[in-house]
Structure 1
């Protein structure tokens, strides 16, 4: 795989009108700069690294918390809804629920 181990080039993401700097937990577009929490940033990065791919709840929980217990699942729902609120203006980007499986970041 082509994973870069050169940390001087910080990976940045652009989706819709947003520009995301995971290292700085910064999500911005022309109207706003949003500082995410570490977990929100990790979650968004995980989605952006796997666009249009179903991410299982267990995988997300293991990636972010290293555990997939029920209470963390409730926390995850809160993080998802926070991210949804932030990107709701974006017409071509959305986080879909895949019932009983997980979530998918849809980028058109």
Structure 2
């Protein structure tokens, strides 16, 4: 943990200080800045292991900063920390590629546990020793590289996209419950995590659309099924 670097971008000085003190007491190394442009510079100069972003930031808002980062970096975990609680904002955050979305007000313990959960998922993915290559119709899915390739196009996946697709692949042509996916990767099941899962399923459907033999079916009242018909 002492080697884990976290970039915190938060313009509320009091909250910034409290988070920094709390996480440093847990052994994390913190770089904290107060606006989006400073966050952009700090990301490229420091290459953190995890990023915590407020959304309503001066100079460059958190959504715009995350989009810039995700152009070239699909793997560094991003947690949005914000008072923007409307569904459309939460959905937008997950569409951009965040790994979690923490609503203000929150407890420092909750934030710490969310960070631990996100970092654990990343570590487990990297340390996964089972066969990490899947053939899905005309696609190749390379889990450790977070890569989904098709003769027409290649996609670099985020950590959460990789997690969800791998779970579906492990249960190919079988039903998987929404609840199981949420508990496995979000560690909680509520309206916000359920909506964010729908966002990831929608993105995976788009990635897999080059092959008509592949479908991610929605099973009403239950969950999903990844179907490969050939």
TM over 0.5: yes
What is the aligned partner in structure 2 of residue 80 from structure 1? 201
Corresponding residue of 1:53: 174
- Superposition deviation, residue 89 in structure 1: 2.0
CA–CA separation in structure 2 for the residues paired with 1:24 and 1:89: 21
3-state DSSP of counterpart to 2:144: helix
2:227 aligned with 1:95: no
Larger Rg: 2
Q: Give the equivalent residue in structure 2 for 1:105.
A: 226
- TM-score normalised over the length of structure 1: 0.88
- What RMSD in Å do the two structures reach over aligned CA positions? 1.7
TM-score, normalising length: structure 2: 0.43
Q: Name the CA distance, whole Å, in 2 between partners of 1:30 and 1:11.
A: 20
> Counterparts of 2:219 and 2:182 in 1: how far apart (Å)?
15
Deviates more, 1:29-38 or 1:75-84: 29-38
Residue 89 to residue 33, structure 1, CA distance change in 2 (3 Å): closer
SS of 1:91's partner is: coil
Greater CA drift, 76-85 or 63-72: 63-72
Among 24, 27, 40, the alignment partner of 2:145 is: 24
Gaps of 5+ in 1: none
Q: Distance in 2 between matches of 1:70 and 1:11?
A: 31
3-state DSSP class of the match of 1:23? Answer: coil
Deviations 1:30-89 (A, max 9, x none): 122200110001100000000111111100111111111210000000000000111112
Q: Which runs of 4+ in 1 moved over 6 A?
A: none
Over 3 Å counting, the alpha-carbon distance change for 1:70 and 1:18 in structure 2 is same
In the alignment, which of 35, 59, 72 is matched to residue 156 of structure 2?
A: 35
1-side partners of 2:154 and 2:198: how far apart? Answer: 23
Structure 2: 5+ residue runs without aligned partners? 1-126
